[in-house]
């Protein structure tokens, strides 16, 4: 007998956060965020909750937790896209179709009660954060702020009547000693047109965030599932990323002093998180200080160019400067995530010699 209950109390939310630690016990690729940070992320301190209705559910069997999921009604998505789509997120379960079905049915019932006509996910909480289940690329650990799950999740979704909505791609690339001549030629053209690249200034971080928002919300405007970031969400994200964002690899492209592009290469701190195992204590802090010096991988987390400046070499110029800084220390870079049908970006990064190495899938079903 499987019971699904809404997690409302502090103890129930503790169970919600702790369940993955049991599910992934012994898995060397499990890279949990600090429990402290997860508690904040699932609380009203997260500005996402100001524009969304979120409920958390636990599946119980015989008094033990057997799975978890969240139900999300994102009012900004509804107003922007005009579709009554609700979302599920933070799904975790053993390889048990009954548990998965019970969890998704609980979300479906909650979304129907809110007037939703479609259930889509996983979204943790939106396309501005982690989304999709890993369906290809289980032979290497996840990089910073990317999903990780057991291989059987895709099968569970299919057994629960979910179908593919969209695939998201991740490419891997050895940091090149030199970019191809075609890329360098296009980058020089952008320079001759007056485009300049500069590092972010962490002393003026709030102003830099505004520059990023200006580029991000315009550059991603036509992307599938995109929702503009609010000022509060931007500040919240910036607070989390500021300590780990190297200024020499977090770049703004400007034309006549106006931001037109943004690129952010972040060290893969998942190596550190795997050693900390969600804990923040003297021992884990010592581990963090030790292992952060051993990070050799990067993730291209942020990339955008305003539409009026596309196909003018702005992205090539940012890559040129970013990789110039990266090759001093780092070995590989993951380029993710990229929509499966974003052919211009895929062509560009394949020009660097990158290869597809992970695939994430978003599922949906009518309600």
Tell me, what CATH number does 123's domain have?
Answer: 3.40.630.30
What 3-state class would DSSP assign to 172? Answer: strand
pTM of full prediction above 0.75 = yes
Same domain, 119 and 244: no
Burial annotation 275-300 (CB, 10 A radius, 16+ → b, else e): bbebeeeeebeebbeebeeebebbbb
Same domain, 181 and 143: no
Report yes or no on 71 lying in a domain.
Answer: yes
Same domain, 335 and 218: yes
- pLDDT at residue number 187: 92
Q: How many residues make up the chain in this entry? A: 367
In the listed set 167, 192, 213, which residue is the last one of a domain according to the structure?
167
Report yes or no on 367 lying in a domain.
Answer: no
- The 8-class DSSP code of residue 225 comes to T
Structural contact between residues 224 and 166, judged by C-beta atoms closer than 8 angstroms: yes
Spatial separation of the C-alpha atoms in residues 141 and 156, rounded to whole Å: 22
Same domain, 46 and 146: yes
- pLDDT at residue number 228: 87
- pLDDT at residue number 282: 79
- If one counts the domains in the chain, the total is 2
- pLDDT at residue number 284: 81
Same domain, 141 and 179: no
Same domain, 50 and 144: yes
Report yes or no on 231 lying in a domain.
Answer: yes
Spatial separation of the C-alpha atoms in residues 335 and 189, rounded to whole Å: 24
In the listed set 114, 135, 167, which residue is the last one of a domain according to the structure?
167
Spatial separation of the C-alpha atoms in residues 73 and 16, rounded to whole Å: 19
In the listed set 148, 167, 186, which residue is the last one of a domain according to the structure?
167
- pLDDT at residue number 176: 86
Range of the domain at 27: 2-167
189: left (phi over 0), alpha (psi -120 to 50) or beta: alpha
- pLDDT at residue number 322: 94
Report yes or no on 364 lying in a domain.
Answer: no
Same domain, 149 and 69: yes
Same domain, 101 and 81: yes
Name the stretches of the chain with pLDDT < 50: none
With the CA atoms of 210, 216, 217 and 223 taken in that order, what torsion angle do they form, in degrees rounded to the nearest 10?
A: -170
Same domain, 130 and 160: yes
Same domain, 144 and 241: no
Same domain, 147 and 177: no
Report yes or no on 366 lying in a domain.
Answer: no
Same domain, 191 and 81: no
């Amino acid at each position: 007998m499987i019971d699904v209950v809404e997690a409302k109390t502090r103890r129930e939310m503790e169970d919600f956060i702790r369940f993955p630690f049991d599910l992934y016990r012994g898995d060397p690729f499990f890279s949990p965020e600090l429990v402290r940070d997860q508690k904040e992320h699932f609380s009203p301190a997260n500005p996402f909750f100001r524009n969304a209705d979120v409920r958390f559910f636990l599946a119980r069997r015989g008094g033990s937790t057997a799975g978890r999921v969240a139900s999300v009604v994102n009012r900004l998505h509804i107003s922007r896209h005009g579709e009554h789509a609700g979302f599920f997120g933070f799904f975790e379960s053993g390889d048990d179709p009954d548990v998965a079905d019970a969890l998704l049915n609980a979300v479906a019932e909650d979304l129907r009660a809110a007037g939703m006509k479609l259930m889509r996910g996983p979204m943790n909480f939106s396309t501005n954060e982690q989304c999709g289940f890993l369906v290809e690329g289980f032979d290497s650990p996840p990089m910073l702020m990317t999903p990780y799950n057991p291989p059987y999740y895709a099968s569970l979704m299919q057994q629960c009547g979910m179908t593919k909505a969209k695939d998201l791609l991740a490419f891997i690339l050895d940091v090149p000693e030199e970019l191809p001549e075609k890329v360098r030629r296009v980058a020089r053209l952008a320079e001759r047109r007056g485009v300049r690249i500069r590092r972010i200034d962490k002393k003026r971080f709030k102003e830099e965030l505004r520059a990023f928002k200006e580029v991000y919300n315009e550059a991603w405007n036509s992307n599938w599932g995109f929702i503009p970031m609010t000022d509060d969400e931007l500040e919240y994200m910036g607070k989390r990323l500021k300590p780990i964002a190297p200024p020499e690899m977090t770049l703004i492209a400007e034309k006549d002093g106006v931001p037109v592009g943004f690129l952010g290469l972040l060290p893969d701190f998942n190596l550190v998180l795997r050693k900390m195992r969600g804990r923040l204590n003297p021992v884990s802090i010592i581990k963090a200080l030790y292992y952060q010096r051993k990070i050799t991988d990067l993730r291209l987390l942020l990339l955008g160019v305003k539409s009026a400046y596309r196909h003018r070499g702005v992205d090539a110029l940012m890559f040129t400067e970013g990789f110039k800084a990266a090759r001093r220390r780092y070995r590989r870079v993951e380029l993710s995530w990229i929509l499966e049908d974003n052919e211009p970006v895929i062509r560009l990064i394949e020009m660097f010699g990158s290869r597809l190495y992970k695939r994430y899938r978003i599922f949906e079903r009518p309600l």
